[in-house]
Amino acid sequence: MKRRAFVVSLPLLGLAWAAGCTDPRSHTHAVYMLVDTSGTYAEEIGKAQLIVHYLLGTLQPGDSLAVARVKSRSFSEKDIIAKATFDQRPSQANAQKRLLRDQVDAFTQTARGSVYTDITGGLIQGAMFLNETGAGRKTILIFSDMQEELDKATVRDIPIDLKDIRVLAVNVVKLKTDNVDPRRYTGRLEAWQKRVEGAGAREWRVINDIEHLDALLKS
């Protein structure tokens, strides 16, 4: 890759300088990870920690990462556990990653389950965060069983905007009721796919095997 970049860069260098311009597009990647802490799913928090570690090892200087929890009402900045836009300098970026790792590790030690699960609020919050970063590639990871449960006062039956955002559902475990009737599980995922794609998302994907996390950041 480096060699190809070296060879390609020779003529491109002249052209780019002749034009006197740089590529105005953003090449950074912003990831917003929603971690479900409701009910029994809170037991899966260790896996979420692994995913965050994987993201920290993979994201490059200039990229952004935010980890937020999904609880009864998730449309709030207070639900963001840790966030960082990594510095352009690799050494500073590594320091920021260490700090973010410590914050997430501390959260996993103290995480408590919530009564309800507001995934939609988290998605809206995530989309707002990602759009503010101005990154070229935007991804929302939903670490959840995708079973949304809202209290009566919470209104989430509203149109959401996920334009140009990839939405990946990770570790979508089957519930007891899903085991009774698998159609509930597939129906739930299909409903989310329809909603996410209807909101203008670039891609909807479900990754249940966390051994294959390399698909997370592939665009």
Partner 1 sequence: MADSPFWVIWPGNAALSALVWFVIAMPFLYAARKPVHELLRAVGLLAGGPLRLGSRWLLAAAKEMRERNKAVLLAHGHEEAEQQIAREFERVALLVKRDLEGYPALQRRLLDEITRVEEDYKKCGEVPPPPPDWVEAVGAVAKVKSNGNELVVRVLEEINRSIKVIHEKTLGEYRRAYEERHKILDGFMPFWRSLDKTLAQADRKMTSLADRAAAIDSQMERFEQIVKKTDRAEHALTVSALTQFFIASLVLAIAAGGALINFKLIALPMSEMVGAGDYLTASLRTSEVAALVIIFVEATMGLFLMETLRITHLFPKIHALPDGMRMRMLWIAFVLLVTLAGIEAALALMRDMLIADKQALLQSLAAAQAAAASDSWLSRIPTIGQMVLGFILPFALAFVAIPLESFIASARTVGGAGLVILTRALAVLLRLAGNLVRQFARVLVTLYDIVIVLPLLVERLVRNGRAPKPRVTGLEAGERP
Interacting residue ranges for partner 1, rule: CB under 8 A: 2-3, 5-6, 8-10, 12-13, 16, 22-23, 25, 27-28, 53-54, 56-57, 60-62, 88-91, 93-94, 97-98, 101
Residues 6 or more apart whose Cβ sits within 8 Å of residue 99: 84
Minimum CB distance to partner 1 smaller for 94 or for 103: 94
Least distance (Å) between residue 209 CB and partner 1: 18
Minimum CB distance to partner 1 smaller for 90 or for 182: 90
Residue appearing with tokens 């994987």 = 54
Q: What is residue 193's three-state secondary structure?
A: helix
Using CA atoms, how far apart are residues 63 and 43, in angstroms rounded to an integer? Answer: 29
Least distance (Å) between residue 54 CB and partner 1: 8
Nearest to 82 by CA among 62, 60, 55, 58: 55
Minimum CB distance to partner 1 smaller for 58 or for 193: 58
Nearest to 153 by CA among 118, 177, 185: 118
Torsion sign (Cα): 27, 51, 92, 82: positive
Whether 160 contacts 119, CB under 8 Å: no
Whether 83 contacts 129, CB under 8 Å: yes
Least distance (Å) between residue 86 CB and partner 1: 9
- State residue 46 phi and psi, 5-degree precision: -60, -40
Token duo for residue 121: 């609020």
Least distance (Å) between residue 10 CB and partner 1: 8
Minimum CB distance to partner 1 smaller for 3 or for 78: 3
Least distance (Å) between residue 15 CB and partner 1: 9
Least distance (Å) between residue 36 CB and partner 1: 22
Minimum CB distance to partner 1 smaller for 5 or for 158: 5
Minimum CB distance to partner 1 smaller for 89 or for 174: 89
Token duo for residue 9: 């860069």
